[in-house]
Amino acid sequence: MTYPTFRRRRRRRTLVAVVVAAVILAVAVAVALARSDRQASREYLDAVFDVATGEEDLAAQFTDLVGRLREMDRPVVTQSLELLEAEAGVLVEELARSEAPGDGDLFRANSFLSIAVVSWRDGLTGFRQAILTLSNDPLDEAGRAQLEASLNDLRVGDSAYKEFQATVRLATEAGTLAESFPGVAFIPVAMVDELTVDAITRQVMQAPGLGVVVNLAIADIKLEPGPTGERNGIPVVPVSDTLSAEATISNRGTVPVDTIVVKMTMVSNEGDTYEVSRGIERLEPGELTTVTFTDLPVKGGLLYDVVFALDGQDDDPTDDRESFRFLRNADE
């Protein structure tokens, strides 16, 4: 026979066991969730750490460029600033792909970092545009205003990044595993006096290589087929089905040049004249391109003078014209 007292005791034991099991399960779930949150935080911090170190590198390159501005040529400055701007844009996109977990300190930290990377990118864009404007005219008020705005963007980025660091430290103190983030300053305290509108404008005025130089040049000319011998010191071109002339044009200036016209004039010793032009859409500083004039109307046994000339005016007309003389071999 089972007594009532015993049944009550057994029910109490069962209830206690259920409660204990529930508590253990709840603790296990809480521990698992905590580990999951910690892992998510670590993955986020690893991702944005790469963004921060990337910005640290860009800031170092930027301050180095500003310090050497008066020593640099315009194409180098332009290319360097374009690369900085492009890399800053990549870091903006990289941060946008990183989602801060939860809505606590890391979420707020991410907001500050987002402001920083966008402000730095915008500042670099404005700085490049301002330098190009001021290199044309250091007294240009619009250029000075744009330079001031770009420096302000960089300062905003620096301030937002400091808030990001402080907020990340709070998350770290609360138990989030995080690596120490680098200091990033596009306007560092040590260069405050150098990174002003007046100081930078003075550098631009003192930099001979930053001015605009427009200089196209005829770098090379040749015939195809080329001469195979000489007669009385004059190159002799062999008989062939066709004869072509080529001119290599170089942009030796500091700015791109659009709509370039290359003119070729060929005159024989009998007075026959042939003129033709070729166009080049655009040449960047330091770029070369070759234009070809095909099917030249030449006769065997005649002497020809060929002149290549660039239409338009530039800062060095001495290399805008090249000529040569050749004798076409008599037909065999």
Q: Which residue has the tokens 């404005």?
A: 126
pLDDT at 268: 93
Residues 167 and 305 in one domain: no
Residues 92 and 60 in one domain: yes
The average confidence (pLDDT) of the chain is 84
pLDDT at 32 over 50: no
Residues 202 and 269 in one domain: no
In whole angstroms, how far apart are CA 310 and each of 267, 280, 290, 306? 18, 11, 13, 14
With cut-offs at 50, 70 and 90, classify the pLDDT of residue 330. confident
Last residue of a domain, one of 195, 210, 225: 210
Number of domains in the chain: 2
DSSP string, 265-318: EEEETT--EEEEEEEEEEE-TT-EEEEEE-S----TT-EEEEEEEE-S--S-GG
Q: What is the pTM of this model?
A: 0.63
User: For the residues 321-329, what does the mean pLDDT come to?
Assistant: 90
With cut-offs at 50, 70 and 90, classify the pLDDT of residue 253. confident
Residues 189 and 278 in one domain: no
Cβ–Cβ under 8 Å, residues 266 and 274? yes
Residues 175 and 82 in one domain: yes
Count H helices, E strands: the chain?
5, 9
Q: Is 203 exposed, middle or buried (0-12, 13-18, 19+ CB in 10 A)?
A: buried
pLDDT at 11: 61
The bridge status of strand 273-283 relative to strand 257-268 is: antiparallel
pLDDT at 27: 40
With cut-offs at 50, 70 and 90, classify the pLDDT of residue 309. very high
User: For the residues 149-159, what does the mean pLDDT come to?
Assistant: 97
pLDDT at 35: 41
Half-sphere exposure of 177 (CA within 13 A, CB side): 10
Last residue of a domain, one of 181, 210, 239: 210
With cut-offs at 50, 70 and 90, classify the pLDDT of residue 142. very high
58-78 residue pLDDT tens? 999 999 999 999 888 888 898
Q: Which domain holds residue 128?
A: 4-210
105-137 residue pLDDT tens? 788 889 999 999 999 999 999 999 999 899 888
| Type of residue found at 319 | D
Residues 92 and 199 in one domain: yes
Last residue of a domain, one of 156, 177, 210: 210
pLDDT at 37: 54
Q: Is 97 exposed, middle or buried (0-12, 13-18, 19+ CB in 10 A)?
A: exposed
Q: Give the Cα separation of 106 and 167 in Å (integer).
A: 7
Residues 296 and 322 in one domain: yes
Cβ–Cβ under 8 Å, residues 306 and 323? yes
Cβ–Cβ under 8 Å, residues 276 and 297? no
Q: Give the Cα separation of 243 and 221 in Å (integer).
A: 14
Structure tokens belonging to residue 109: 């930290």
pLDDT at 23 over 60: no
Residues 105 and 33 in one domain: yes
Residues 200 and 262 in one domain: no
pLDDT at 162 over 80: yes
With a pLDDT cut of 70, the percent of the chain lying above it is 84
pLDDT at 38 over 70: no
| Type of residue found at 184 | V
Q: Give the Cα separation of 183 and 162 in Å (integer).
A: 8
pLDDT at 8: 59
* Nearest Cα to Cα of residue 97 among 156, 47, 148: 47
Residues 224 and 321 in one domain: yes
Residues 252 and 319 in one domain: yes
pLDDT at 322: 92
User: For the residues 190-197, what does the mean pLDDT come to?
Assistant: 93
With cut-offs at 50, 70 and 90, classify the pLDDT of residue 207. confident
Residues 149 and 233 in one domain: no
pLDDT at 14: 58
CATH number at residue 311: 2.60.40.10
